[in-house]
Amino acid sequence: MRRALVALFVMLATALGLLAAPQQAIAANRDVLRPDNSGTCEWDAAGYWVQRCDVWSEATGRNIPVQIVAATNGGNAGLYMLDGLRATEQSNAWLVDVNAAQIYEDSNITLVMPVGGASSFYADWEAPATYDFNNPVVYKWETFLTSELPAYLEQNFGVSRSNNSILGLSMGGTAAMNLAAKHPDQFRQVMSFSGYLATTLPGSQTAFRAALLDGGMYNLNAMYGPLLSPRRFENDPFLNMDGLRNSDVYISAGAAVPGPQDADYLPEHVASGVALESYANFITRLWGLKARASGINFTEVYTPTGIHNWEQFGSQLEETKGRVLDVMGAW
């Protein structure tokens, strides 16, 4: 009898151990540095399990750094987070001006934050992006984000190619809406925070040309070609919104009125923030009017205060966290 009880205890302990092992492995999903094109990813200074990974882009002929936070429990959902016009090569601003990794600290979704792409609108450009032809800047962001990066994420982080959300601020909001509309098989959800959602309206191209010159002497004509190029219209969120009919869509903008949260900004920064947010608010509302008339389901939020700055963008990131996790099944 004693031997039988001991044997039964051993069997139960073994069974429990086999059941516990996968759970422990899943719980440690964020603790493992994944392989990348330089060998292995590195821990990023942002903390909160952010890995900096070099992902090879055949389209651009170089490694593109991506800051990634693995899903807490091994979930297969991904959240792509796009930067603004003045994106740097050091870090995605979602980890500098707002710590997105901290906000999503206990979430079962993989955060995907590409680094770089200043003034790119995350597009595939037709020619080198700047006027410095001795040091050409090759932008093939759409190819990277919708083809090359998903393959890497699937293999190394378990992210599904068809279970993704995408968001962006300002320039990144414009790009997020474009990419989601053109690749609905990849992105089930899209969010634009103060994005510019109509890019070919009269005067828009002139405004974008000035913005790209100010953002680093980037050549707007190198993006989609001549002014009347069909590609300009194919990449206008105002014109390609039909691709979002089966997506969860959220758009927002501030009222272009400074609030208490903006008290510490310099007057000149407040002035530029008001001007930029005024246009973002107008163009976002215009997009909403057409989308509603077209029968597209979406949510629009216009905050009573807020200018074009990280107080506005960060508050929207926190506001939409629950929505992202609900839609993507990533709690």
> What does the pLDDT read at residue 83?
98
- In this prediction, residues 238-263 reach a mean pLDDT of 98
Note the pLDDT tens digit of each residue in 252-310: 999 999 999 999 999 999 999 999 999 999 999 999 999 999 999 999 999 999 999 99
- In this prediction, residues 162-191 reach a mean pLDDT of 98
Locate the domains of the chain by residue range: 1-31, 34-328
Q: Provide the pLDDT confidence category of residue 246 given band limits of 50, 70 and 90.
A: very high
- In this prediction, residues 5-13 reach a mean pLDDT of 41
Count, residues in the chain: 331
User: What percentage of the chain carries pLDDT values higher than 90?
Assistant: 89
> What does the pLDDT read at residue 16?
40
Q: Provide the pLDDT confidence category of residue 6 given band limits of 50, 70 and 90.
A: very low
Alpha-carbon gap, residue 302 to 273, rounded angstroms: 16
- In this prediction, residues 71-87 reach a mean pLDDT of 97
**Residue 150 corresponds to which amino acid?**
P
Alpha-carbon gap, residue 281 to 70, rounded angstroms: 34
* CATH top-level class of 34-328: alpha beta
> What does the pLDDT read at residue 164?
98
> What does the pLDDT read at residue 141?
98
The helix, strand and coil proportions of the chain, stated in percent and rounded to the nearest 5, come to 40, 20, 40
Closest by CA to 259, choosing from 323, 200, 203, 305, is 305
Cβ-Cβ contacts under 8 Å for 151 (sequence gap 6 or more): 161
Asked if the model's pLDDT at residue 2 lies above 50, the reply is no
Asked if the model's pLDDT at residue 27 lies above 90, the reply is no
